[in-house]
Amino acid sequence: MKKVITFGTFDVFHIGHVSILERAKSYGDYLIVGVSSDDLNFSKKGCKPIYSEKDRRKIIKSLSCVDEVFSETSLDLKRQYINDFNAEILIMGDDWKGKFDNHKDQCEVIYLPRTPSISTKKIIEVVKSTE
């Protein structure tokens, strides 16, 4: 069984999230998704996500292409997560291109193109502008 791992915040869930997760699953038999914890998201972006970590994990786990979900608590633990889950492939969006090449000694690293013209940040901006 080929295991694939990916990571993300997955806040304000949208079609781009579905697309990258479905494409990630197509590279293996078992998809593991690390969902950024609320604290990790705050440390990266200076704000908490719209949806709680618990809710974001539940949304991701409900997808038929996802086999396992866990909380990612640190960006510095990617190597450990890959080992802990025995992942053979790490998939990330191409906005991270090159940033995880240091894991190529551990597993295959693939960067997938993001869905054009959609992002959580853009959705939040549109919603705020209509208030």
Structure tokens, 56:
């974001």
Higher pLDDT, 124 or 91: 91
How many CB atoms within 10 Å of residue 20? Answer: 21
Tell me if residue 105 falls in helix, strand or coil: coil
- Asked if residues 100 and 76 have their Cβ atoms less than 8 Å apart, the reply is no
For residue 8, the model assigns a pLDDT of: 93
pLDDT, tens only, 14-48: 888 899 999 999 999 999 999 999 999 888 888 88
pLDDT, tens only, 63-101: 999 999 999 999 999 999 999 999 999 999 988 899 999
Structure tokens, 82:
């890959």
- For residue 119, pLDDT over 50 is answered with yes
Higher pLDDT, 46 or 56: 56
Strand-strand pairing, 89-93 and 108-112:
parallel
To the question of pTM greater than 0.85 for the whole model, the response is yes
